Amino acid sequence: MNIVITGGRVIDPAHNEDQVRPIAIQDGSLLGSPIPRGFSADVTLDAAGLIVSPGLIDLRARLREPGLEHKATVASETRAALAGGITTLCCPPDTTPPIDTPAIAEWLRARAEGALGARVLPIGALTRGLKGAHLADMHALHEAGCAGVGNAGMGVSDTGVMRHALAYAAGLDLLVFLTPEDPWLGERGVMHEGLVSTRLGLPGVPTSAETIAISRDLILVEETGVRAHFCGLSTAAGAALIADAKRRGLPVTADCAIHQLHLSEDDIGFFDSEYRVRPPLRTRADRDALREAFAEGTIDALCSDHQPHEADAKKAPFSDAEPGIAGLETLLPLALRLTEAGVPLARALAGLTSGPGGILRLLAGGLVPGQPADLCLFDPAAPWVPGPDTLKTQGRNSPFCGAPMRGRVVATIKDGRIAYRAAWARETPV
């Protein structure tokens, strides 16, 4: 099928493009600009007033399959991802069983293909069973379609094992996803150790839980030369360590969960478990520093860190409530909200497209003629309120439920097919 999108403002941060132009898709692939003579469209999408960007890439989204199907499924969450403008997402290996064999990785990819949702790139386990003792079959996992390897939130406390794992991955030129949390300092805490934890009497996770882990791993990255991606920075001090490593030329990148750029420990109020996340929400100074680190490029990518839960998972005393926010569909509007804090629109979108695309070495992070067409069409001004009636994810756990948002996806095109079209926008253009 041939599609032409007319009148949209095309923003492609990978190629510094920001202009109104038509985009043509022939048999699933993007055509170059100008559109060649003789192209005829079967479908015309009127995108006047809309922004057309590459399909969003989310480096961290839990789909809960296999193992936790009562929370969500590959089908429910990959379709929710499309509704959020996300065409590619990475799924961490901490499923049950973990993604530590090619069979699980292949099963997950097949499941995602059948669901007709966003493309799923599993992250393979760095160690067998995520136990931090034996290396996983990293090459086989890579062959099975894994975007890289990592130990999710389980940490590898044995530095000897970590050093071997990173060296081994470096030898295969694999991308390693590192989740920086010192297990000895991080495991027992449920929120940032500071003023609010003092007040509420909740066990805290000190800033040093993050900086110690980053410091150790950076030394090992320097020693092994492995391509390392640091997941979910939460502290100003952690971002400063990454900035320094980049200045020294180490092959490192970093991301930040989008909620870390908007929320702080103060938002927990009186034990609101919707704000229980890992790593925890830090101080307002940390939040502001992370925004700055993103704006200047120390943080390469923004991700949803999507963690859908059943309602009961949050109906417990704060420490017993499960951590995480269901964030697929608020990723884009929350990234757009950064423009209110002075982040240029193109930079905000880069965090969702060329940033993560570059980390994964995917061409899909930008608009490249001849490549499969993955596009996100959104109305940057459309107001909406996340809630049970508007969200597609099976998880309704979000502190942003009920909070007015600006910016909403109108249509998502994946592999040249209109994979999602918003019901709310059918009356309006497109």
Partner 1 sequence: MIGDIQVDAQGRHRHFLTTEGLPAHTIIEILDTAESFISVGEREIKKVPLLRGKNIVNLFFEASTRTRTTFEIAGKRLSADVININTGVSATQKGESVIDTIRNLEAMHTDLFVIRHPQSGAADLIARSVPAHVHVVNAGDGRHAHPTQGLLDMFTIRRYKGAFAPLTVAIVGDVLHSRVARSQIHALTTLGAREVRVIGPRSLWPPVPEGLGVVPYTDMAKGLAGVDVIIVLRLQFERMNGALIPSASEYFSLYGLTPERLALASPEAIVMHPGPMNRGLEIASEVADGPQSVILPQVTNGIAVRMAILARLAGALPGETKPA
386 near partner 1, rule: CB under 8 A:
no
311 near partner 1, rule: CB under 8 A:
no
Among 173, 181, 176, smallest CA distance to 216 is for 181
275 near partner 1, rule: CB under 8 A:
yes
186 near partner 1, rule: CB under 8 A:
no
Mapping DSSP to helix (H, G, I), strand (E, B) and coil, where does residue 53 land? Answer: strand
Q: Tell me the HSE value of 196 on the side-chain side, using a 13 A CA sphere.
A: 20
Neighbouring C-beta atoms of residue 248, cutoff 10 Å: 10
Q: Cis ω on the peptide bond leading into residue 323 (within 30° of 0)?
A: no
Among 160, 269, 388, 402, indicate the residue that binds partner 1 (CB under 8 A): 269
* Active-site annotation holder among 94, 255, 300, 305: 305
Q: Which stretch binds partner 1 (CB under 8 A): 19-27, 39-47, 115-123, 309-317?
A: 309-317
199 near partner 1, rule: CB under 8 A:
yes
- Whichever of 269 and 388 has its CB closer to partner 1, that residue is 269
Among 172, 316, 341, 385, indicate the residue that binds partner 1 (CB under 8 A): 316
Annotated active-site residue 305? The verdict is: yes
Give the nearest distance from C-beta 310 to partner 1 in angstroms: 12
In the region spanning residues 322 to 341, those forming contacts with partner 1, defined by CB under 8 A, are: none
Neighbouring C-beta atoms of residue 70, cutoff 10 Å: 12
159 near partner 1, rule: CB under 8 A:
no
Instruction: Answer positive or negative: Cα dihedral of 355, 359, 364, 369.
Output: positive
Distances (CA, A) of 67 to 97, 177, 230: 7, 22, 26
In the region spanning residues 109 to 128, those forming contacts with partner 1, defined by CB under 8 A, are: none
272 near partner 1, rule: CB under 8 A:
yes
Angle (CA) 307-312-316 rounded to 5° is: 100
266 near partner 1, rule: CB under 8 A:
yes
- Whichever of 46 and 267 has its CB closer to partner 1, that residue is 267
Q: β-strand 17-20 against 9-12: which pairing, if any? A: antiparallel
Q: Terminal CA-to-CA distance of the chain, rounded, Å?
A: 16
Among 281, 267, 271, 265, smallest CA distance to 201 is for 271
70 near partner 1, rule: CB under 8 A:
no
46 near partner 1, rule: CB under 8 A:
no
270 near partner 1, rule: CB under 8 A:
yes
- Where along the sequence are the contacts to partner 1 (CB under 8 A)? 193-195, 197-204, 206, 266-273, 275, 312, 315-320, 399
